[in-house]
Structure 1
Amino acid sequence: MTDQSSPGAARPDPLRLETGFSGLARVGARPSLPAYIASLWAYRHFIRFDALSRLKSNYRKNVLGPVWLVLTPVLNGLTYYLIFGLLLNLSRGIDNYVGYLLIGVFGFQFTNKVVMAGGSAINNNRKVVEAFSFPRASLPIAASLRETLGYIPGYLAMLVLILAIATPDEITWRWLYVVPIVALQAIFSQGIGLLLSRVIAAAPDFLNIMSFTMRIWMYASGVFYSFDRFANRPELAGLLDVLEGNPLYQILSMLRGVLLYAESPSLEQWLLVGAWAAGAYAVGFIVFWSAEETYSREAK
């Protein structure tokens, strides 16, 4: 018998492992952008179900349910009217200030809710992100969709209040413009929510800063005052140009024009708001997708 342990003994070849099997991919790898969009489309039923089920759950948690969608902006509007309309007299020079304020408060509240819901979606669902494999963008999209659907009664209540107490100049077919304007606002807000969702997932402390950021945005959007009051101050001309380029300011201006003053939005406004909506969604989606591999690790 040959001693296999002797130096001259023949030894069996080590087991060779072939690599590069076709069809295999690294677990958790980020898919290509087209493949990611296709996977989101495959999850469209989950997105819709998640948005609707959580919306119903939120209604059941509150005794007044959807009434708060109306009460919150109305109470905010009353507060702003007392402080800025009566005490500070910022209503000077604004036709139909009550309607102007209603549109500003309801319109800003909608963007605020959609942005905050989308931005905190990953942070609020860390256990789900850690435990399951699915396109993570479905979470902020579902959260934004939930707030969009949930705010429909709020916008309807705004229209009723305008008719009841704001007495618009004229009720015309231009009121139909509200639908595409709000649709662009929803797309823009959801895009910002996707972008912030990536930021907050990486740095959860940023969520605490968001309330201050949204408050600054509110003041920069002319919610309860008009930028026209500063038109005679040439030193502010550059700042006013920047503020008037604010997409939320333009959205509120378009809503005020069609609902209060019987004015159609200009082509420049449509193009500006449309560009902001498309750009915000594209940038937010791509930034979110680019970090798809990191969300599971950040959730741990």
Structure 2
Amino acid sequence: MNSALQPLDEGLPPAELAARHGLSVSGARPALPEYVRRLWGRRHFVVAFSSAKLTAQYSQAKLGQIWQLVTPLLNAAVYYLIFGLILGTRRGIPHDVFIPFLVTGVFIFNFTQSSVTAGVRAISGNLGLVRALHFPRAALPVSFALQQLQQLLYSMVILVVVAIAFGSYPGPRWVLALPALALQFVFNVGLTMIMARLGSRTPDFAQLMPFVLRTWMYASGVMYSIPVMLEGKPEWIKVALQHNPLAVYMDLVRYALIHGYGADNLPAHIWLYGLGWAVLLGVAGFIYFWKAEEQYGRG
């Protein structure tokens, strides 16, 4: 039978010949719905991989996982010393509000900053895994974003203690922190995927990111109130800074957890902006990463 079919195959282009016999390109990018289905099928790997990376992060330190709580607290203490006491950026913010205001800003910004930093190396730092196993490559940046979410949840223990210590006791508004963090997580996943694709082709991109992130931090109101510090400046500058995604998510969590931080501190329609940024970056980042699926680990 094979000999009878052989003449039919002669002279066919390789692509048509492969299709005739049910062959497909190794590592070819699947359609988007199929890609999503395959990624969902690897959800247990995503969770296990992120947990393993988090556990290994401080495995060489004597204090181990305690550093997950100490590191963000030390960062907040340094910012309070420099910006709160020396530079006086707490202008317009009551003293009993400024410390939880600052700690919240540091933790929320670090959530995105760490996701971006990890995302840049998500593919380039795991080439052995990418080349050895066949799986949706999006599992890696999603794992790193999930790792940072777990890190943030540890840090929230410190944030809750600080909030209570300065008079912000648990109340109905605290529940609002959950959807705010969920929106930021979706935003982070999309941004992490964008960084993963860029970092996979340009390793030097990782050297540029600290400067970009530092600029973003200073522009997001981590350690100062944007409306107060920009008083007298052109209105468009204040609007641009207040509606940048990190400023939005910081404001939402501050409003949820700090009783002295009322709705008058929030720009109008802030929840819509939080949702918009999450949907925009989440969808665009996923599609942007998926478009280059067959390129990862090659070259």
TM-score (norm 2): 0.88
- 1:16 corresponding residue in structure 2: 10
- 2:4 corresponding residue in structure 1: none
Spell out structure 1 runs of 4+ moving beyond 3 A: 262-267
Q: Identify the match of residue 247 of structure 2 among 242, 246, 249.
A: 249
Q: Does residue 124 in structure 1 map to residue 118 in structure 2?
A: no
Any conservation in 2 of the 1:55–1:146 contact (CA below 8 Å)?
yes
- 2:3 corresponding residue in structure 1: none
The size of the alignment, in residue pairs, is 283
User: 1:23: Cα distance to partner?
Assistant: 3.3
Q: Classify the secondary structure of the residue corresponding to 2:182.
A: helix
Q: CA separation in 1, counterparts of 2:275 and 2:112?
A: 16
Letter in 1 for 2:191: I
- 2:176 corresponding residue in structure 1: 177
What is the RMSD computed on CA atoms of the aligned residues? Answer: 2.1
Deviations along 1:176-206, one digit per CA (max 9) or x if unpaired, are: 1111111111111111111110001111100
Any conservation in 2 of the 1:191–1:285 contact (CA below 8 Å)?
yes
Q: CA separation in 1, counterparts of 2:235 and 2:21?
A: 62
User: 1:270: Cα distance to partner?
Assistant: 1.2
Q: Does residue 202 in structure 1 map to residue 196 in structure 2?
A: no
- 1:110 corresponding residue in structure 2: 111
Mark the structure with the bigger radius of gyration. 1
- Give the unaligned 5+ runs of structure 1: 1-12
Deviations along 1:70-103, one digit per CA (max 9) or x if unpaired, are: 2222212111111111111111111221111111
Any conservation in 1 of the 2:55–2:65 contact (CA below 8 Å)?
no
Q: CA separation in 1, counterparts of 2:238 and 2:268?
A: 20
Q: CA separation in 2, counterparts of 1:266 and 1:209?
A: 31
Any conservation in 2 of the 1:102–1:162 contact (CA below 8 Å)?
no
- 2:51 corresponding residue in structure 1: 52
Q: Classify the secondary structure of the residue corresponding to 1:89.
A: coil
- Tell me which moved more, 134-143 or 17-26: 17-26
Any conservation in 2 of the 1:104–1:223 contact (CA below 8 Å)?
yes
- 2:36 corresponding residue in structure 1: 37
Q: Classify the secondary structure of the residue corresponding to 1:63.
A: coil
- Tell me which moved more, 132-141 or 282-291: 132-141
- Give the unaligned 5+ runs of structure 2: 1-6
Any conservation in 2 of the 1:39–1:135 contact (CA below 8 Å)?
yes
Any conservation in 1 of the 2:123–2:297 contact (CA below 8 Å)?
no
User: 1:262: Cα distance to partner?
Assistant: 6.3
- 1:271 corresponding residue in structure 2: 272
Any conservation in 2 of the 1:171–1:262 contact (CA below 8 Å)?
no
Letter in 2 for 1:167: G
Any conservation in 1 of the 2:58–2:67 contact (CA below 8 Å)?
no
